[in-house]
Amino acid sequence: MKDLDLLIQLHITQTRQGPGSQQDTLLAAQLANLGANTALKIADIGCGTGAASIDLASNLNCDITSVDFLPEFIQQLKSRANHAGVNHKITPLVADMAELPFENDSFDVIWSEGAVYNIGFETGIRDWKKYLKPYGKLIVSELTWLTDERPDEINEHWNREYPEVATAGEKIRLLEQHGYKLLGYFPLDEASWIEQYYAPLQARYQSIKADYPHRLPAIQRLIDENEQEIALYNKYKQFVSYGVFIAQKVD
């Protein structure tokens, strides 16, 4: 992939690699009713540099397997988990979410923030279900329409970029069709996009230029793409967000 190394370097210094917040992670954990006497076994799939894994490990009795296919992100997660004093609760794993090396019925919880789109929502909820124990919980955040009707520009953009984009109702129906019961749902608010994700990314523009002075044209392309995405978000934020779906395996 073109300039993947720079994309990694743009994101690796960030707490999160997608929209979300510690508050959102803990709200989802609360809606999933994740209190337990014995340590919960959790898989965080597409964990990036570990924002959710570290928040969950800091707040729950759990053992987390944190999976991402980028070794650079997993290395960063290790050092952050160490720094947060939760490394003993986290097993980092470099693996492809499409070919996970897990046993069936092995997790109480599958967690995935802003990452299932890489294989598609329906494939993810269908293929990952076997790794959950009976009545295990699934928490996924996913690009979701907030309204039934949208302006053409945003409608066409997301239908082209991610044809599985749909309303929460349609996502919930898919969860039910695949043997889950919905326990909760909320859309991410604007702060989870701007304050938690886009603003820190914009703050990185200067330092990445200083880190790679011989790659300025490629960096500028990345910045331009990012700024286009931010402008689109700001223009149409009442129509689209990430939805957080909290569900339970019931068959």
Ligand X SMILES: C[S@@+](CC[C@H](N)C(=O)[O-])C[C@H]1O[C@@H](n2cnc3c(N)ncnc32)[C@H](O)[C@@H]1O
* Footprint of ligand X (CB under 6 A): 16-18, 20, 46-48, 51-52, 68-70, 73, 96-98, 113-115, 118
How many residues belong to the chain? 251
Question: Shortest Cβ distance from residue 56 to ligand X (Å)?
Answer: 11
Between the alpha carbon of residue 226 and those of residues 18, 110, 183, 204, the distances in Å are: 12, 29, 34, 12
Handedness of CA 17, 20, 23, 28 (dihedral sign): negative
Question: Shortest Cβ distance from residue 15 to ligand X (Å)?
Answer: 8
Question: Shortest Cβ distance from residue 236 to ligand X (Å)?
Answer: 19
Question: Shortest Cβ distance from residue 251 to ligand X (Å)?
Answer: 26
| Closest to ligand X by CB, 32 or 35 | 32
Q: Which helix (H) or strand (E) holds 45?
A: strand 40-45
- Contact present, 64 and 43 (Cβ < 8 Å): yes
| Closest to ligand X by CB, 176 or 195 | 195
| Closest to ligand X by CB, 1 or 210 | 1
How far apart CA 166 and CA 170 sit, in angstroms, is 6
How far apart CA 25 and CA 55 sit, in angstroms, is 7
Question: Shortest Cβ distance from residue 111 to ligand X (Å)?
Answer: 9
- Residues 90-119 as b or e (16 or more Cβ within 10 Å = b): bebbeeebeebebeeeebbbbbbbbbbbeb
| Closest to ligand X by CB, 20 or 136 | 20
Question: Shortest Cβ distance from residue 11 to ligand X (Å)?
Answer: 8
Q: Which two tokens stand for residue 53?
A: 């894994």
Q: Which two tokens stand for residue 24?
A: 């959102």
Question: Shortest Cβ distance from residue 163 to ligand X (Å)?
Answer: 17
| Closest to ligand X by CB, 35 or 71 | 71
| Closest to ligand X by CB, 92 or 114 | 114
Q: Residue number with the shortest CB distance to ligand X? A: 48
- Contact present, 20 and 113 (Cβ < 8 Å): yes
| Closest to ligand X by CB, 28 or 216 | 28
Q: Which two tokens stand for residue 102?
A: 């897990």
How far apart CA 117 and CA 139 sit, in angstroms, is 14
